[in-house]
Amino acid sequence: MVALLALAAAIPAVLGATAPAFVPAGTGPTVQSANYTGMSNGTLQNGPIVPGLAFDRFIQIWFENTDFAVANGTATFQQLAAQGILLDNFVAVTHPSEPNYAAIVGGDFWGMSDDNLHVMPSNISTIVDLLEAKNISWASYQENMPADGYLAYNYTQPDYRNASAPPYTFYVRKHNPLVLYDSIASVPSRNMRNRNFNDFAVDVSNNTLPQWIFITPNLVDDAHDTTIDYTASFIQYWVIPLLTNPNFNTERTLILITFDENDTYTTKNQIWSLLLGGAVPASLYGTTDSTFYSHYSCLSSVEANWGLGSLGRGDTNKTMSNVFEFLLTEYHLNYTNTNVTNPPLTNITGTIPGPLNPDYWVTWTAPDMSAVGAGGGQVFVSSGTNTSLTAAAAGAPVNLTALASSNSTGSGSTSDAMSLRVAGSAVLAAAAGALFLF
């Protein structure tokens, strides 16, 4: 018994000793760092500020794979919550990471249930199309991405935390939502707005940050490869100083701090989310909003704020796209949210039909042209879209995996059969995608 008590007493010390110690990549968010490959290529060029109803700038900062209770029980997150509106009924839309990042830009994840290298066809519309239609500037800032418009699957570099450690992969494509879409990645003027943290340092110092911003910290700073305490230290180092920087947080800035998904797949996909910044009225500091929100609410709220059109996808799903409530109560937005008493399951994965799910494959379909979004504008339709190819016209899902397997001779090895399955799925998906595109 004495030995067991001694062991139990030693556990916290052991855990504390093995927990990674936070190491900042630089001296602060407004200074370029040699620990990032690629110095800034110059200040971002934007047009005039386009005023919105409640905010003139919307900034999203995404962290990784953390249950709501874990973040909510951490002192730094509690400190932030005292300065904003805690959204305690906010959910991710699926698992794992990449489909959530895809959803925040395109309003759908098209059945995706993995973190593979996916490319959305060039006629799949995104929030960028809606923003540019109203001349609203935008950019993404990715920590440790080596160059603007970088398209590779990941980037490995010397580990700035430990000079004697092997090279480390800090940046991954799957956490960069804009680069997933060919309508952005294949257009140089757009793709160069995928920028790194050295660019961010220059842009914020020169007061040239755009109006719509997506920020992804690296794999250690976002809690993916570390812990919530490590991320809390990053927030103290990088986020909190920016909250008092008028080039970042103006009186008309709304900031959303959130996570891509929770960590426990068997529970509700609830993620800690907080609205803060100068656009949040002081009377709402330290309050909690229990309205049902999802990642699609970020799209609908932006559309409502600037009177944009819509994508005709998840951003117009009345259950999944409630607008941030304070826009209605404090800024008198003429919109009615949905009282969601029986929310859909968002912790399921692998069984959602779509062109990126070989087990439940359907072709790429057109947006819902009859949808009405929170911004009141028309559904955006990209050039080359066959608007008659609706979800109803697409037909029942097809199991490409089973189809590819049935076409194998059975005489090859297991690896041969697997290769055939993957190749067959890819070929059929590509062919159907081509039919949709042209």
Q: Show which residues are catalytic.
A: 225
CA distance 198 to 31: 7
Cα–Cα distance list, 178 to 5, 155, 198, 229, 279 (Å) = 52, 17, 18, 28, 25
Cα-flanking dihedrals φ and ψ of residue 195, to 5°? Answer: -120, 170
Tokens of 276: 């803060």
Task: Name residue 275's beta-bridge partners.
Answer: 85, 256
CA distance 269 to 283: 29
CA distance 40 to 196: 8
**Beta-strand (E) ranges in 68-182?**
85-87, 90-91, 138-142, 154-157, 168-172
Q: How far is CA 26 from the centre of its chain?
A: 24
Tokens of 101: 């990042």
CA distance 292 to 341: 9
**169 and 198 Cβ atoms separated by less than 8 Å:** no
Which has the closest alpha carbon to 291: 334, 341, 348?
341
Angle at 168 between CA 162 and CA 170, to 5 degrees: 110
Q: How far is CA 383 from the centre of its chain?
A: 25
CA distance 133 to 57: 16
Tokens of 304: 């409502």
| 237: DSSP letter | I
